[in-house]
Amino acid sequence: MRLSPDEIIFWQSGFVKLNATIVFTWVLMAVLVMASILITRRLSRDMTRSRWQNLLEIIVTGIQDQIREVGLKHPRTYIGFIGTLFLFVAMSTLSTIIPGFEPPTGSLSTTAALALSVFVAVPIYGMTERGVGAYLRSYLEPTVIMLPFNIISDLSRTLALAVRLFGNMMSGTMILAILLTISPFVFPVLMSALGLLTGMVQAYIFSILATVYIASATLTQKPSPARPAGET
Amino acid sequence: MLIDWFTVGAQALNFLILVWLLKRFLYKPIMTAIDTREARIRKERADADAIKADAETARDTFQKMTADFEQARAGLLQQATDDATAERQRLMAEAHSAADALAAQRAKALQTEAQALATSITDRAWDEVFAVARKTLNDLADVRLEDRICDTFVHRIQASGDQPDSALSTAIRGTSEPIPVRSAFDLSPEQHAAIRSALHDTFSTDAELTFETAPRLIAGIELTAGGQKLAWSISDYLSSLKASVGETFSARDASQAGPTADADRTQEKVSA
């Protein structure tokens, strides 16, 4: 049984190969970029605007609000990275309804690449926001003894990000394939719908976790103000 | 092996490219559109606030002007009312004054007319009485009026002697100064002698008599001594006639003044 679209190789020359993961990723990228170009080509700056522009504005402002709610005060700095994470994973999940389309996020290579991107982006944003010294010192907090644990924490959460997304996407695809072989068509449709739901949830979880990691890296530790009596 | 490291690197690169592309073609245009719209909305709101502030200012100004206008109108109306009242009172006072003046003038004219009429009647009565008496005396007794007057005066002197204790008798007897005798006409020496004789016989006095002519006595003779006077003249009759005519006119004026006064009082009530 095929567990990952990486195994579908269209072309290979030594180490370099062109598998289904990369190709379908390009397809998704093309769809996203073309849709963006088409919709933003005639953006209205007046009070009346098209429904597609409304959809995009809702999505973009929704992502902005989510980033702000997590605690990042300047969401526009991070919306390129976090918003693209969400849109890519969400579009990848949505693409599962197209017969024959292999979602790129069903490949552990893709999820690992995304997790690695987060793993790299977090310190970059942290150092940009707080300075290199301040960010590196955060690994020594609260004590020096915590340094290895902090490093292990970073690595483990990156691994967890990759495996969580891969496991969910792969399992959905696998369950669909297995059900198609043993049951009538109606039940796989329901499972496919459930897979869409879990995929969207995973897209939200992945991007929110990335936001939380970036927020924890960029926020400066400040003494918290005294809470009013009765507040929990 | 589930992880293909070439694919991992390629996907990471693909992801970074996608980030750049979406920033370029999605986030930036959308953000710009939103920013532009929000700026426009802010500007419109600011404009609306400014217009509202202007409108409120204009409204306040208008209300203040209206209040000032109402106050000024009320003040002008009050002033006009006061002026009208004062003017009315002034005109009423003028009318009363004019009415009073007219009434006084009318009363004075009536009085003057009455006096003129009385004078005219007196003059005509004098003339008529004098002429009738003269003509009667001439026709009946062939006696001049002046002679009869003198005789009458002599008789009156003699009659005064019947009351020796009267003030006239005392005055004539007690005077040592010349006694003036005035007459409306020139007395003849015989009449001088008759008067002197009558005085001497009646009052036993040797006082000198001075004879004067006084036309205002009107066919009469008078004698003055010690503040007492003895006289007879047609003027006395005429005086009594004049008094009678005067009383007649006074009664008529009173009867005419009554309705006129009532009419004046009625006019004052209407004006109030």
Give the residue-averaged pLDDT of B68-89.
95
Query: B32 to chain A: which residues are within 8 Å by CB?
Result: 43
Write out pLDDT tens, residues B149-159.
888 888 888 88
**Pair A157, A213: CB distance under 8 Å:** yes
In a domain, B67, yes or no: yes
Identify which of A160, A154, A168 has the alpha carbon closest to the alpha carbon of residue A107. Answer: A168
- Of B7, B9, B33, Cβ closest to residue A107: B7
Between A20 and B174, residue with greater pLDDT: A20
Overall size of chain B counted in residues: 272
Q: Return the pLDDT at A47.
A: 75
Between A143 and B244, residue with greater pLDDT: A143
- Assign B141 a pLDDT band (cuts: 50, 70, 90): low
Q: Return the pLDDT at A222.
A: 53
In a domain, B132, yes or no: no
In a domain, A113, yes or no: yes
Q: Hey, what are B266's tokens?
A: 């009625």
- Of A21, A36, A57, Cβ closest to residue B7: A21
**Pair A105, A165: CB distance under 8 Å:** yes
Of all residues in chain A, the percent with pLDDT exceeding 70 is 93
Between B53 and B150, residue with greater pLDDT: B53
Residues B150 and B99 in one domain: no
Amino acid (one-letter) located at A190: L
End-to-end CA distance of chain A: 52
A104 and B21 in contact by Cβ < 8 A? no
Q: Which residue of A48, A109, A207 to mutate against B (max B Cβ within 10 Å)?
A: A109
- Assign A223 a pLDDT band (cuts: 50, 70, 90): very low
Write out pLDDT tens, residues A97-134.
888 888 898 888 999 999 999 999 999 999 998 889 98
Identify which of B44, B40, B34 has the alpha carbon closest to the alpha carbon of residue A54. Answer: B34
**Pair B18, A83: CB distance under 8 Å:** no
In a domain, B118, yes or no: no
Q: Return the pLDDT at B242.
A: 64
| Number of domains chain A contains | 1
**Pair A79, A68: CB distance under 8 Å:** no
Q: Which region among A88-92, B126-130, B268-272 has the lowest average model confidence (pLDDT)? A: B268-272
In this structure, are strands A9-13 and A16-19 parallel, antiparallel, or unpaired?
antiparallel
Concatenated DSSP letters for B187-240?
Answer: PPHHHHHHHHHHHHHHH-----EEEEE-GGG-SEEEEEETTEEEEEEHHHHHHH
In a domain, B188, yes or no: yes
Domain of B225? 144-249
Amino acid (one-letter) located at B244: S
Domain of A76? 5-42+50-218
Q: Which region among B3-17, B53-67, B207-221, B228-242 has the lowest average model confidence (pLDDT)? A: B228-242
| Distance from C-alpha of A158 to C-alpha of A69, rounded to nearest angstrom | 22
Cα separation values, A62 from A54, A66, B80, Å: 12, 6, 73
Give the residue-averaged pLDDT of A72-80.
90
Q: Hey, what are B210's tokens?
A: 């001075």
**Pair B272, B89: CB distance under 8 Å:** no
Residues B76 and B155 in one domain: no
Write out pLDDT tens, residues B197-246.
888 888 887 778 888 888 767 667 888 887 888 887 766 766 676 677 66
Give the residue-averaged pLDDT of A160-181.
82
Residues B149 and B242 in one domain: yes
B23 and A108 in contact by Cβ < 8 A? no
For tokens 């690169």, the residue is B13
Q: Return the pLDDT at A68.
A: 92
Q: Return the pLDDT at B50.
A: 95
| Number of domains chain B contains | 2
Name the average pLDDT for chain A.
Answer: 85
Residues B91 and B155 in one domain: no
In a domain, A232, yes or no: no
Residues B233 and B155 in one domain: yes
Phi, psi for A141 (deg, rounded to 5): -95, 150
In a domain, A224, yes or no: no
User: Is the pLDDT assigned to residue B85 strictly greater than 90?
Assistant: yes
CA torsion, ordered A75, A81, A83, A85, to nearest 10 deg: -150
A113 and B27 in contact by Cβ < 8 A? no
